[in-house]
Each structure stands twice: as C-alpha cells, then as structure tokens.
Amino acid sequence: MKHALITGITGQDGSYLAKFLLDKGYKIFGTFRRLSTPNFWRLQYLNIFDEIELLPVDLLDSSSIFEAIKISKPDEIYNLAAQSFVGASFEQPLASAEITGLGVVKFLEAIRTIAPDVKFYQASTSEMFGDNQFEEQSEETPFQPSSPYAAAKLYAHGMVKLYRKGYNLFACNGILFNHESPLRGLEFVTRKITNSVAKICLGLEDTIELGNIFAKRDWGYAPEYIEAMWLMLQQENPDDYVIATNETHTIKEFLEVTSEIAGLDWQKHLKIDERFMRPVDVHYLKGNYQKGLTKLGWEPKTKFKDLAVIMMRSDLERWKRWSNGEHFPWDAWNYPNEKKILSRKIKLDR
C-alpha cells in the first residue's frame, strides 16, 4: 500500500486529492494547522474524515516537517499548503513569503536529508505569469508575478527546479490555472458569486459586492485537476506542467451565467466596491495544457458553463437545506457575514 502525505489537506484541493488517492488504495496522512476552531468541514463533506491520519504541522517549523515525514513514511508528498488567497497576500506579504515560499524549501531540505526517494509535488500557480502580454501561457512563458502570493510561489517554483537538478530529487511543479468547485472558499470570487446569488435568490441578502469584474481567467473543475497532480508523480522522470482549459472568461461572464441559472437580473444587485480592487491586478490568463495532454494524457472535461452550473446548484441547495433546518458540513459558519445571517434566522425561529 502506498503512503501519501498531503499538506493543506483541509483545503479544496487537499480534500479532493485525499478522496482520489483513497479510492486508489493509498493510506493518507494529512497535515493541518492547529487552530482554536478546526476547519475539517470539507473532509466531512466528502465522508473521508475518519479515513485520514491527521498530523499537526507548522510550515515554519522544520522539526514538525521532519516529524511528519518520519511518521507517515510517504511514497509521495503533495504540498498544497499555502497562504492561498491573492488579495490577502497584499495585507500579509511577510506571512506569504515565509509560508508560501520558505515553507517549501523547508520541505525540500527535509526530503533531501531523510527521504530522498520520495516523490514531491509542489502546487505552483498561474498567478506567477502575472499581467503578461502573451495570448496564452505555457511552461515556456516568462513569469511576471503581480502579487506577494505570486512572488512567493515563484520563489518556491524555482527552488523545486533547483533541488530537482542539484540533488536529483523527483520533484514536480504543477502550474495550475484557476480551478473551482463547491468546496472553494468563500473568499474566492467564483464561490463568492454563487453563494451571494443563492442568498439573493432566497431573499436572504440583496446585493453582491465585487471588484474588477472584467478580469479574465482560465477556470477549470478542481476534481479533474487533482488527477493531473497524481499523474505527474507517476511518470518516469519529474517535470513541470501547466494544467488549464485553454479558455478564458471574465468574472462578469461567471456572474451572468450563475444569475441566469437562479433567474436573477444581476445588474439590479451588483455593487462595485473599491475594497476588492487589488493594488496590482492580473487582467488576463489563459493556459496552454498541450504538454499535459501529450505526456500525461490529461485534458479537462468540464466546460466553463457546466462548472458554473455545478457551483450554483450546490450553493442554492445548501441554503435551501439550511432554511429547512438541516445540519451538514458547511463553511458558512466560518465567515462573519454568513454567520450573522445564519444566527439571525435561528433567533427568528425561536
């Protein structure tokens, strides 16, 4: 039985990856940060919480990384942990640099020292391309990071390549473009839109507040991107791959599609708020996944509109279920604005 160690297992990608690998017969170890309120809802939502051995790890503490590797004895390590919200990285640039950048080097050093045969996957990002002038981005496109998050990811990306070449480690970078799902956090614009539209549809809220709705992104379906991560570590030689859909759509288009599903006129509810404008924005991203298709046999299956439908229906169902008094794993309680709405109805019901 293969062992896999997944950092950031409580996030969208970590949870889907854990389920994917469990279905393939792996024993799964997952790292998590000790918090006053543990955030395991995604693992519970996928009904896999009891099948995972959880290990507390601080990416700034090398000793805890060494200990996690010794306990899990992994064949494969998937490093998905990071301060992953671009907007927040402008508010916390030092934390982004230390966790998203230096944390990766600590892992690479641990592997080099005590587990040189482990296969390592690093979650790189399309944000590293920044506000570039290329029609599409591939593995050969120059990087031009436009946020502290992207800069930290680029440093980690470069260190993975360096350790692969200098120490002969099996280490891969997955340059994943935006990938979404019903398990996406509410701070990300796609889920923010579907969650807000669902609340408006049910009369729980009246407005949706967004920033730049004309930014274009390449959006795919997260569970499909998980397979690409795994495929990278099944190859004979390590390499870096762009994983994308080769399509680009604006935030406005996503809002239009989801509003149409819910039967709303989005223009009556949209409020543009300067708070959500980034100091430096990325206006256009479109990935070329040809290398992944050729070498991994991977290609996206879920199209943009289908993704919007999946997410919109999921959030509508959640709010309807909650309105009917059901209890289920959900992230709404973790966000102040959502908690106010949930708590207000509970008081009214009493």
pLDDT digits (tens, 9 = 90+) for 200-238: 999 999 999 998 999 999 999 999 999 999 999 999 999
Residue 248 maps to a domain: no
Q: What is the CATH number of the domain that holds 199?
A: 3.90.25.10
Question: What is the pLDDT at residue 309?
Answer: 96
- Residues 209 and 69 reside in one and the same domain: no
Residue 250 maps to a domain: no
Is residue 270 a contact partner of residue 196, using CB atoms and an 8 Å limit?
A: no
Question: Known catalytic residue: 26?
Answer: no
Burial label for 10, CB within 10 Å (0-12, 13-18, 19+), is buried
Residue 343 maps to a domain: yes
- Residues 195 and 238 reside in one and the same domain: no
- Residues 273 and 339 reside in one and the same domain: yes
Residue 292 maps to a domain: no
DSSP state of 78: E
The residue from 10, 31, 100, 125 that is catalytic is 125
Tokens read off for 344: 């207000």
Instruction: Tell me the percentage of the chain whose pLDDT exceeds 70.
Output: 93
Q: Can you give the pTM of this predicted structure?
A: 0.94
- Residues 73 and 212 reside in one and the same domain: no
Is residue 198 a contact partner of residue 268, using CB atoms and an 8 Å limit?
A: no
Q: What is the CATH number of the domain that holds 48?
A: 3.40.50.720
The residue from 26, 78, 149, 225 that is catalytic is 149
- Residues 75 and 210 reside in one and the same domain: no
The residue from 76, 127, 253, 338 that is catalytic is 127
- Residues 68 and 212 reside in one and the same domain: no
CA distance 65 to 72: 11
Q: Strand 220-221 vs strand 179-180: parallel, antiparallel, or unpaired?
A: parallel
> Is 36's pLDDT higher than 60?
no
CA distance 23 to 280: 41
- Residues 208 and 227 reside in one and the same domain: no
Question: What is the pLDDT at residue 96?
Answer: 82
- Residues 231 and 100 reside in one and the same domain: yes
- Phi and psi at 196, nearest 5°, equal -70, -45
- Residues 110 and 90 reside in one and the same domain: yes
- Residues 114 and 137 reside in one and the same domain: yes
CA distance 73 to 4: 8
Residues facing 125 on adjacent strands: 176
- Residues 210 and 151 reside in one and the same domain: no
Residue 116 maps to a domain: yes
Residue 119 maps to a domain: yes
Q: In total, how many domains does the chain have?
A: 2
158 CB-near residues (< 8 Å, 6+ apart): none
Continuous segment of H or E residues that includes residue 264: none
Residue 252 maps to a domain: no
DSSP state of 46: T
The residue range of the domain holding 318 is 189-217+257-285+304-349
Burial label for 208, CB within 10 Å (0-12, 13-18, 19+), is buried
pLDDT digits (tens, 9 = 90+) for 301-343: 999 999 999 999 999 999 999 999 998 999 998 888 898 888 7
Question: Known catalytic residue: 248?
Answer: no
CA distance 98 to 59: 8
Question: Known catalytic residue: 163?
Answer: no
- Residues 94 and 159 reside in one and the same domain: yes
